[in-house]
């Protein structure tokens, strides 16, 4: 039975305008009120119909995309490719940014369902099983990036992060690095924690021959700087720093430079993703390439295929990262030797 805005407001004990503000992610709503409204929305399984107007034949020409952090060029590159493919086929794309906030993810998904989008690309790390189940029941064609599993109306695009991180660790080990650090963010989330777990597993295989640390901060340039400060101020002196992504790695480079440490002479640094910025950092970043344009194109293709009942079976696409060597890495230098002696 369809629910309406008034029922949600009554159950949550708020006005209908407050419900609207919550559903539209207006920040003036108190956290406790927002939580109460979202609980009522979930309990009633309410989806506002924000996109009742469709083209002739009643078919929506809108694709939705939800991303964790549009400040990170990785997500923006995926969006650009998805949008280009959509426009070429007569579709528009609406995008929502969650900033890794699970509550924003919930409201964004329900807004997209309410818009009756023709398909939804969910490029996030903070997904949970209940939301996956809700999207499966909605029967909207969906593409997930590195969360959940393929099913009837859901395609999953997955990156083999473990293999990518293992290649980076072994490359640095072969260069003589025996003091390694990992800079990450949101370590409790699937795709990011997978990279951290791969790092720990890789260095652990070398036993006591390798010293290592992990440190996390917010995803972004400042997060990279802050994580490096915490690492170095804590007394650990790595000969190489492996970063969860290129965006944070650029912040790491900035902090090392301000401390008078040469890259790669004193410390080697690697990123992950191979965003355009990695080519123009100083020095250019060694990284693992993930084909963002291909991911965006694959996402659109999968959404269009999943619209057709005959092929709406869902599938998993696995992408293997490629190591890209640039100037930010080199043999463990004299600085590393001094640290080992001391």
Whether residue 225 is predicted with pLDDT greater than 90 in this model: the reply is: yes
The per-residue pLDDT for 336 is: 46
Q: What is the mean pLDDT of residues 271-293?
A: 96
The per-residue pLDDT for 243 is: 97
**Are 335 and 267 spatial neighbours (Cβ–Cβ below 8 Å)?**
yes
Whether residue 310 is predicted with pLDDT greater than 50 in this model: the reply is: no
CA dihedral 326, 327, 331, 337 (to 10 degrees): -140
Residue that wins the pLDDT comparison between 58 and 200: 200
Q: What is the mean pLDDT of residues 99-105?
A: 86
Per-residue pLDDT band at 247 (split at 50, 70, 90):
very high
Whether residue 313 is predicted with pLDDT greater than 60 in this model: the reply is: no
Per-residue pLDDT band at 134 (split at 50, 70, 90):
confident
**Are 62 and 83 spatial neighbours (Cβ–Cβ below 8 Å)?**
no
How much of the chain, in percent, has pLDDT values that exceed 70?
A: 86
Instruction: Out of 41-50, 87-96, 307-316, 326-335, pick the least confident.
Output: 307-316
pLDDT, tens digit, 9 for 90 and up, residues 147-175: 766 777 888 898 999 999 999 999 999 99
Block residue for tokens 């709406």: 312
CA distance 79 to 121: 9
The per-residue pLDDT for 56 is: 43
The per-residue pLDDT for 254 is: 97
The per-residue pLDDT for 71 is: 92
Q: Is 58 exposed, middle or buried (0-12, 13-18, 19+ CB in 10 A)?
A: exposed
CA distance 97 to 120: 13
CA distance 202 to 162: 9
Whether residue 338 is predicted with pLDDT greater than 80 in this model: the reply is: no
Instruction: Out of 6-10, 303-307, 321-325, pick the least confident.
Output: 303-307
State phi, psi for 179 to the nearest 5 degrees.
-130, 100
Q: What is the mean pLDDT of residues 113-135?
A: 82
Instruction: Out of 65-69, 117-121, 129-133, 137-141, pick the least confident.
Output: 129-133
CA distance 122 to 342: 49
DSSP track, 53-96: --BTTTB--EEEEEES-TTSHHHHHHHHHHHHHHHHTT-EEEEE
CA distance 25 to 19: 10
Per-residue pLDDT band at 309 (split at 50, 70, 90):
very low
The per-residue pLDDT for 189 is: 56
The per-residue pLDDT for 5 is: 78
How much of the chain, in percent, has pLDDT values that exceed 90?
A: 54
Whether residue 96 is predicted with pLDDT greater than 90 in this model: the reply is: yes
Q: Which of 230, 335, 327 is nearest to 287 (CA)?
A: 327
pLDDT, tens digit, 9 for 90 and up, residues 250-277: 999 999 999 999 999 999 999 999 999 9
CA distance 164 to 242: 11
**Are 75 and 44 spatial neighbours (Cβ–Cβ below 8 Å)?**
no
Residue that wins the pLDDT comparison between 250 and 317: 250
The per-residue pLDDT for 217 is: 93
> Quick one: residue 171, left, alpha or beta (phi over 0 = left, psi -120 to 50 = alpha)?
alpha
pLDDT, tens digit, 9 for 90 and up, residues 37-70: 888 888 888 876 655 444 444 567 899 999 999 9
Per-residue pLDDT band at 25 (split at 50, 70, 90):
low
Whether residue 298 is predicted with pLDDT greater than 90 in this model: the reply is: yes
Which whole-number Å values give the CA distances from 310 to 115, 226, 303, 342, in the listed order? 24, 51, 13, 67
């Amino acid at each position: 039975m369809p629910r309406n805005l008034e029922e949600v407001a009554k159950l949550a004990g708020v006005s209908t305008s407050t419900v609207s503000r919550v559903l539209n992610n207006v920040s003036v709503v108190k956290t406790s009120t927002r939580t109460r409204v979202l609980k009522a929305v979930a309990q009633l399984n309410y989806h506002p119909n924000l996109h009742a107007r469709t083209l002739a034949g009643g078919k929506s020409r809108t694709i939705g995309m939800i991303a964790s952090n549009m400040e990170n060029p990785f997500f923006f590159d995926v969006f650009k490719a998805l949008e280009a493919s959509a426009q070429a086929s007569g579709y528009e794309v609406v995008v929502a940014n969650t900033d890794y906030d699970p509550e924003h993810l919930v409201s964004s998904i329900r807004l997209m369902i309410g818009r009756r989008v023709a398909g939804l690309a969910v490029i996030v790390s903070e997904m949970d099983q209940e939301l996956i189940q809700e999207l499966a029941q909605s029967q909207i064609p969906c593409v997930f990036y590195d969360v959940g599993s393929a099913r009837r109306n859901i395609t999953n695009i997955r990156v083999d992060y473990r293999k990518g991180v293992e290649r980076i660790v072994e490359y640095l080990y072969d260069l003589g690095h025996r003091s390694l650090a990992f800079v990450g963010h949101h370590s409790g989330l699937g795709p990011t924690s997978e990279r951290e777990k791969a790092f720990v597993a890789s260095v652990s295989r070398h036993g006591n021959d390798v010293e290592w640390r992990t440190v996390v901060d917010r995803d972004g340039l400042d997060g990279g700087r802050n994580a490096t400060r915490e690492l170095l101020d804590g007394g650990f002196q790595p000969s190489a720093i492996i970063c969860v992504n290129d965006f944070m790695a650029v912040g790491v480079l900035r902090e090392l430079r301000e401390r008078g440490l040469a890259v790669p002479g004193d410390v080697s640094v690697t990123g992950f993703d191979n965003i355009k910025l990695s080519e123009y950092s100083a020095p250019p970043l060694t990284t693992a390439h993930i084909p963002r344009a291909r991911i965006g194109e694959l996402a659109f293709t999968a959404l269009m295929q999943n619209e057709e009942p005959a092929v709406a079976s869902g599938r998993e696409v696995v992408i293997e990262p490629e190591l890209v060597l640039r100037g930010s890495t080199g043999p463990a230098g004299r600085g590393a030797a001094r640290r080992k002696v001391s």
